[in-house]
């Protein structure tokens, strides 16, 4: 089965991500979300529903020691908690 997810915009309120870190964050979100979907699949409620106008997730904690890759994984896991099995 092929799953295609398009995230048009990711809003991180109260978080500053340096311009040079944005590609690292994006890659981490994409790879972790892909890994989770490949491993555990998509919630069956989403098979027929198609697009979602927005998706809110729980708060995440970013500390100064968090690297963009770590924060990207947290974001992907939060998204997956809403759309995954």
Asked if the structure places residue 60 within a domain, the reply is: no
φ, ψ at 31 (rounded to 5°): -70, -40
Asked if the structure places residue 39 within a domain, the reply is: yes
**Among the listed residues 85, 64, 60, the one whose alpha carbon sits nearest the alpha carbon of residue 74:** 60
Asked if the structure places residue 5 within a domain, the reply is: no
For residue 72, the model assigns a pLDDT of 94
**Residue 71: domain span:** 18-43+67-85
Asked if the structure places residue 50 within a domain, the reply is: no
User: What count of other Cβ atoms lies within 10 Å of the Cβ of residue 11?
Assistant: 7
Asked if the structure places residue 7 within a domain, the reply is: no
Q: Report whether pLDDT(14) > 90.
A: no
pLDDT tens figures, 15-25: 888 999 999 99
Q: In angstroms, rounded to a whole number, what is the distance separating the alpha carbons of residues 84 and 76? A: 11
For residue 35, the model assigns a pLDDT of 95
For residue 13, the model assigns a pLDDT of 84
Tell me what the mean pLDDT of segment 56-69 comes to.
82
Tell me what the mean pLDDT of segment 27-42 comes to.
94
Asked if the structure places residue 53 within a domain, the reply is: no
| Domain total of the chain | 1
Query: What's the whole-model pTM score?
Result: 0.86
């Amino acid at each position: 089965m092929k799953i295609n997810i398009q995230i048009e915009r990711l809003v991180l309120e109260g978080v500053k991500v340096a311009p040079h870190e944005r590609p690292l964050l994006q890659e981490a979100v994409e790879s972790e979300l892909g890994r989770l979907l490949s491993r555990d699949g998509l919630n069956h409620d989403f098979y027929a529903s198609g697009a979602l106008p927005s998706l809110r997730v729980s708060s995440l904690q970013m500390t100064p020691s968090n690297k963009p890759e770590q924060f990207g994984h947290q974001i992907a896991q939060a998204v997956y908690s809403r759309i995954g099995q």
